[in-house]
C-alpha cells in the first residue's frame, strides 16, 4: 500500500505468524462501522487471544505506530482518507460468554445483543433495557450505554482491563467513574472482560420489558438505516434531538448524509455518504443550534483519522 510509513510495514512483518488472528494491510474501515463509511486503515489486526493483544500492543509501541481498539464501530466516524496507524479488533477469545448462577461473565468483544439474549434464556433480569443497543459489550461499558433511566453501570460487578506493558487489572464496578455516556475506562486500559450481576426474574416479565424497550427504540430511532446512533450528548436537562428539531434541521441533507426524520439526533447514510458529508452536517447542526438556542452541542460519536475537530 503506497504511502504507508516504514514503521507500519515493519510492524506488519513482525506480527504475521506471531499472532493467531489475521493481519491485514489497507483494510477498508467502511466494513467495520455501522455508518458504512471510512477509508483504509494502514494496519488491521484481529487479536483472537490475550497473547495476541499483548504482542500487538508491544510491537506497535516499539515501532511507534499509533493504534486504536474498536468493537462493531457503532459510534465511530472514520475519515475518508482512513487511519494512519493500526486498528485492533478483539476476536475469538474475547467473544465468549459464561453464566455462573446470577452472574454473566463475557468478553468485551461479545455482541451486546447476544449477552442480552443469554440472560433472557436463563431467566435473568437486569439487561432488558439494553435490548436493541448495537455494538459490543466493551463499547457499551466504555460509553455506559443505556436507556433514559437505566445504564450499564447498574449491572456491572467488575471489569477486567488489559494495560499494555503491564498486564491485567480487575476494577470493581464501584470503583469506576461512571457518568452520563462515560465510564473513564478507556483511559485506564483496554476492556477485555466484564462480570455482570443480574437477578432471577419471571421470564414472562423479562420478555415483556424487552419487547417494550425494543418497540420504543423502533418508534423513536431510524432502525435499518446506516448510522452511528446518537450524534450528540444530551445537554444537562435538555434533549439534543429536540433542540435540533426545533432549529428546523430535521431531514437536512448534505451529500449522502441526512438528519433523520425519525429522530433529529441521528444522522443517517442514505447511500454513498462520505465522512466529510457527515462532518459537514455535524458542524452545521452545532452552529445553528448555538445560534438558535445558545447551547453548545458536544459530539457523542468518535472521530478516527484526520479531521478538523468537529
The answer to whether residue 230 is catalytic is yes
DSSP string, 260-282: -SS-TT-EEE-SS--HHHHHHHH
Catalytic residue among 27, 93, 209, 300: 300
Q: Which of 30, 79, 230, 260 is catalytic?
A: 230
Can 300 be counted among the known catalytic residues?
yes
**181 in active site:** yes
- Among candidate residues 24, 36, 181, 217, the one labeled active-site is 181
Catalytically active residues are 181, 230, 300
Amino acid at each position: 500500500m503506497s504511502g504507508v510509513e516504514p514503521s507500519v510495514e515493519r510492524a506488519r512483518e513482525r506480527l504475521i505468524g506471531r499472532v493467531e488472528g489475521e493481519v491485514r494491510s489497507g483494510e477498508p474501515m467502511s466494513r467495520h462501522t455501522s455508518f458504512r463509511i471510512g477509508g483504509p486503515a494502514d494496519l488491521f489486526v484481529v487479536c483472537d487471544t490475550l497473547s495476541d493483544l499483548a504482542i500487538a500492543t508491544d510491537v506497535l509501541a516499539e515501532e511507534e505506530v499509533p493504534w486504536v481498539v474498536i468493537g462493531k464501530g457503532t459510534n465511530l466516524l472514520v475519515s475518508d482518507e482512513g487511519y494512519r496507524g493500526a486498528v485492533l479488533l478483539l476476536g475469538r477469545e474475547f467473544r465468549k460468554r459464561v453464566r455462573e448462577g446470577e452472574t454473566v461473565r463475557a468478553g468485551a468483544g461479545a455482541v451486546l445483543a447476544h449477552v442480552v439474549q443469554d440472560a433472557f434464556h436463563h431467566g435473568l433480569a437486569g439487561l432488558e433495557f439494553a435490548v436493541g443497543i448495537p455494538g459490543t459489550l466493551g463499547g457499551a461499558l466504555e460509553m455506559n450505554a443505556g436507556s433514559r433511566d437505566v445504564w450499564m453501570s447498574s449491572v456491572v460487578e467488575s471489569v477486567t482491563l488489559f494495560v499494555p506493558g503491564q498486564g491485567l487489572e480487575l476494577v470493581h464496578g464501584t470503583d469506576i467513574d461512571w457518568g452520563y455516556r462515560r465510564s473513564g475506562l478507556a483511559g485506564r486500559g483496554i476492556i477485555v472482560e466484564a462480570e455482570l450481576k443480574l437477578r432471577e426474574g419471571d421470564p414472562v416479565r423479562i420478555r415483556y420489558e424487552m419487547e417494550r424497550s425494543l418497540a420504543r427504540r423502533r418508534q423513536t430511532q431510524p432502525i435499518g438505516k446506516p448510522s452511528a446512533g446518537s450524534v450528540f450528548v444530551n445537554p444537562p436537562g435538555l434533549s439534543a434531538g429536540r433542540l435540533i428539531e426545533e432549529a428546523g434541521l430535521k431531514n437536512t441533507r448534505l451529500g449522502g448524509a441526512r438528519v433523520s426524520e425519525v429522530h433529529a439526533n441521528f444522522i443517517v447514510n442514505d447511500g454513498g455518504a462520505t465522512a466529510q458529508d457527515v462532518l459537514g452536517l455535524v458542524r452545521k447542526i452545532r452552529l445553528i443550534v448555538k445560534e438558535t438556542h445558545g447551547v453548545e452541542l458536544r459530539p457523542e460519536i468518535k472521530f478516527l483519522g484526520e479531521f478538523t475537530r468537529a
